[in-house]
Amino acid sequence: MSYIRLFFMSLAAKSILCDDCFFYDFESNFEYLFAKNGSLCQLLPSKWNIGNYADISLQPPHYRSEKFIKPSDTVSCISSQTFAAESSGVIEVKVYMESSLATDQITVLVNQVVPGGNDAVVATQQLFSMNQDFENGWHLLKMPLGGVGSYDAFISFLGSSAEGSIVLIDSFRYLSPTATDGQCIFYEEDLEPTTTEPTTTSRPVDQGCLTFDFEDDFSGLFTSNNDLCTGFPSWHLANYSTIGMDSADPKTDVFIAPNEYSSCIASFPFAMTPNGVIQVNIYIEPKSALDHIIVLAKKLVSSGTDTVAGFKIYEPSVNSFTTGWSVLEIPVIDFWTFNGYLVFLGAASEGSTVLVDSFRYIPPNYSPDNESCAIY
Ligand SMILES: [Ca+2]
Ligand SMILES: [Ca+2]
């Protein structure tokens, strides 16, 4: 791949990042997206947990919604991963409360991450069953965000539910100041079977796949100067011919390989979208149980530590392990499109073969058979 192509890809990445909104429904990846243990929730050990409408006597707000989160009977706290937000954007949270005791409550806090300082609350909303005008049923908690300009934000939910009460959060969405109410609606209806293309999208029509084969530009596009890689040796480039092995494809001569001790390297940044998939073509012929490859998809967080948006560990002890060629598949998990990069960790004991030949990123709802997805 040439620098020219990368240049255009990074331009494309910028426009993709102009998405206006996201919607999160708690139907999947909850543990991943709410793993943040911020200062607020550290003080409150009780967490929210996933619940199923099938287990309670309540109709979900939409047939596509099967799950929600619920607090315990002591004040429970949970915080999300960070997401890009903007002053004057809006958060809307769909909640349900059927109260049997005046202590039932939900508090939503949106926090701005302040680098090197204390996180600042930029929006808050509360639903207390003890309030005089409280009514049982569905509520949409709507809150405009304060702060200035763009920043990294995260959302925290505090709540408690007495035995016999129903207190739950079904879903929430974030709308940027330029988003309209019709975008990122709470649950998309199924498309008509005759419709092949969604009629509205805020994304460029064809963002295509990103492919990388290590044939050129490796030293310029990969770095071991990365938080995670500090203290580790780097991976190195090598040729199939020098190890007497058939290459993955006639068009490729090179791959990267780790050293005997855990090696680390990070890729150039590129835009990733939730439900996109990273596929890494690897080869392992182990001589030791310590041989391994770990691939992490990391999200760039300008205001703090980069977070993990997906990962795969591959070593002889994993169930799916097979000697030889494998494709490691890493689904991207986050609230919305972000700039991220890949980190490769690996080790190859003496006499074993451990290598990464190439990788590609396939955007969501994009066919890997598309021409732009072919690595060779
Ligand atoms: Ca839901
Ligand atoms: Ca290659």
For the ranges 71-80, 152-161, 191-200, 314-323, the lowest mean pLDDT is seen at 191-200
Q: Residue with structure tokens 């182990």?
A: 286
Q: State the distance from the centre of ligand 1 to the C-alpha of 340, rounded, in angstroms.
A: 27
d(CA 154, CA 123): 11
Instruction: Evaluate if residue 70 carries a pLDDT over 70.
Output: yes
What pLDDT score does 102 carry?
94
Q: State the distance from the centre of ligand 2 to the C-alpha of 251, rounded, in angstroms.
A: 8
For 1-54, the DSSP string reads: --HHHHHHHHHHHHHHTT--EEEE-SSS-HHHHT-B--HHHHT-----EEEEGG
Phi, psi of 21 (to 5 degrees): -170, 170
d(CA 199, CA 125): 34
User: Which ligand sits closest to the CA of 95?
Assistant: 1
Judging by beta carbons within 10 Å of its beta carbon (0-12, 13-18, 19+), is residue 327 exposed, middle or buried?
exposed
User: Which ligand sits closest to the CA of 53?
Assistant: 1
What pLDDT score does 37 carry?
66
Q: State the distance from the centre of ligand 1 to the C-alpha of 171, rounded, in angstroms.
A: 5
Instruction: Evaluate if residue 188 carries a pLDDT over 80.
Output: no
Q: Residue with structure tokens 């939910």?
A: 157
pTM, entire model: 0.83
Q: How many CB atoms lie within 10 A of CB 191?
A: 11
d(CA 356, CA 289): 18
Residues β-bridged to residue 116: none
d(CA 101, CA 237): 65
Q: State the distance from the centre of ligand 1 to the C-alpha of 54, rounded, in angstroms.
A: 12
d(CA 316, CA 311): 17
Q: State the distance from the centre of ligand 1 to the C-alpha of 188, rounded, in angstroms.
A: 12
d(CA 217, CA 240): 18
Q: State the distance from the centre of ligand 1 to the C-alpha of 70, rounded, in angstroms.
A: 11
Q: State the distance from the centre of ligand 1 to the C-alpha of 200, rounded, in angstroms.
A: 23
User: Which ligand sits closest to the CA of 257?
Assistant: 2
The tens digit of pLDDT for each residue in 131-187 reads 999 999 999 999 999 999 999 999 999 999 999 999 999 999 999 999 998 889 888
Q: State the distance from the centre of ligand 2 to the C-alpha of 248, rounded, in angstroms.
A: 7
Q: State the distance from the centre of ligand 2 to the C-alpha of 253, rounded, in angstroms.
A: 6
Compute the CA torsion angle 7, 12, 13, 14 (nearest 10 deg). Answer: 100
User: Which ligand sits closest to the CA of 250?
Assistant: 2
